[in-house]
Each structure stands twice: as C-alpha cells, then as structure tokens.
Amino acid sequence: MSVDLSELPNLDPAAFVRPDPLALSDARATHAPRILLLYGSLRERSYSKLLALEAARLLQAMGAETRLFDPAGLPLPDAAPDSDAKVQELRELTLWSEGMVWSSPERHGAMSGVLKAQIDWIPLSQGALRPTQGKTLALLQVSGGSQSFNALNQMRVLGRWMRLLTIPNQSSVAKAWQEFDTPGRMRPSPYYDRLVDVMEELLKFTLLTRDLAPYLVDRYSERRPGTDSLAAASGAAPPAVVAPT
C-alpha cells in the first residue's frame, strides 16, 4: 500500500518503514529463556543475593535457565583492562542472557556501588553487538528499614539507558533481615507473593519479545545514511546488530 509522505518533508522516505503486524508473529524459539541475575552486596549474608537466589528458584520452576553472577573480585570500572577475567565473565553472561534481574540493597538512599560497578562494566556496544539492547529486565530492592523505592527508581533509569525492556512490576522488600530464615530462604509474606508476580511477568515479557528484539529495536534514525557520523558527533554508540540468541 502506497503512503503519501508529502506532508512530512523532513522524513527520509528511504529509511521510513511502517510497523508491520506480520513481523511480530514469527515462530517462537522453544529453548528455556536465559535469565542472568545480578546482586549488589559482598556481605556473607547478603539479602540482595538471597532475594536473587529466591528469584532464580522461581524462574527455574517457571521453565527458565538462570545464571547468578558473583561480583566478588570484579574490579572497579576503569581500574583494570577489559580483558580482566571477571569482566569477561560478566560480559559473556550478558551476551548469553535474554533477560536480566538486578537486585540491590539501598545504601544511603541509593543503589549500591557493587551493583552499579557491574552495570558500568557492561558496554552499550561491544564490537558489532549491543549486549543489553532489546533484552528484558526486572528490578528488586532490599532495605534494612521501612519500604523505599530509591534504588528501584535509579535502576529503572539505568535500564532505560542500557536499552533494556524494563518490565512495569518491581519488588521492594522492607526490613529484609526479618524476611529470610536462618538457611536463607524467604518466608511467606506479601513480599514473597510480589516476588512471584515480578518473576512471572519477567518471564512472560521475555517469551513475548526475545525473538522479536531485532525488529523491536530497529530504528528509523539508524537506517538513515550518515548515522555513524552523527553518532560520533553526539558521543552516542554507533548502530550495531543485536546479539544472536
């Protein structure tokens, strides 16, 4: 069907593509969704880690394959070369994943530096790949006191910056020290029920979007000639293909 673009003189017709519903109905992959979980504390009894482990158990029960990254030994950003073994491990897991879970404690009204360092080591572009673009993300927070959403709000901004499809639901666990038993399992509570909700939503969004990510993140501005030079001038990452799944 022809489209009259005469009323849009600033539009590049060669790069303009109307969204196609048929492109959103491709055959679905059948392998288990791959979810990477990051947590934000190095404490021996880390509640952000315990929450991430509980999330991983739920995801596995729902049919996902999960990996948990241990941040111990990860250098501060720019304090080591990209070839550092822990940095490479984190980046390889990011490429492997189709969705992510970030679990952070709230420290001084903010997300933890441990989690931020992990995110800072994940580049927006890596060779011809964008490690996070088009993948799903769920956000979790633990607090020592009353319920707060400061860390969640910061992580949501970072998720958008990393071009992740951050799901609407989220989990904030207040007084986390009383929500886990001695072996580290989460006790029954409305907080636990919310965690189930969030993981269920993450898996649904991952199943819905993982095969369509290249189409969903295809952009008019990046199809236009000269995008590379514009990106270089603005400091943005140049266009690149999405990591194969």
Write the CB contacts of 171 (distance below 8 Å, at least 6 apart in sequence).
Answer: 51, 139, 140, 141, 191, 194, 195, 197, 198
What percent of the chain lies above the pLDDT cut of 70? 90
pLDDT-based confidence at residue 111 (cuts at 50, 70, 90): very high
Determine how β-strand 165-166 pairs with β-strand 241-242.
unpaired
* pLDDT beyond 50 at 196: yes
The confidence score (pLDDT) of residue 198 equals 96
**Over the Cα atoms of the chain, what is R_g?**
20
* pLDDT beyond 60 at 9: yes
Task: Provide the whole-model pTM.
Answer: 0.84
* pLDDT beyond 70 at 123: yes
- Comparison of pLDDT for 26 and 137, the residue scoring more: 137
In 109-226, the DSSP E strands lie at: 110-111, 129-130, 136-142, 165-166, 171-173
**Closest listed residue to residue 52, CA positions, set 65, 36, 74, 71:** 36
Q: Number of helices (H) and strands (E), helices first, in the chain?
A: 8, 9
Mean pLDDT of the chain: 88
Is 194 in contact with 171 (CB distance < 8 Å)? yes
pLDDT tens for each residue of 146-195: 788 899 999 999 999 999 999 999 999 999 999 999 999 999 999 999 99
Return d(Cα 35, Cα 207) in angstroms, integer: 11
* pLDDT beyond 80 at 232: no
The confidence score (pLDDT) of residue 96 equals 96
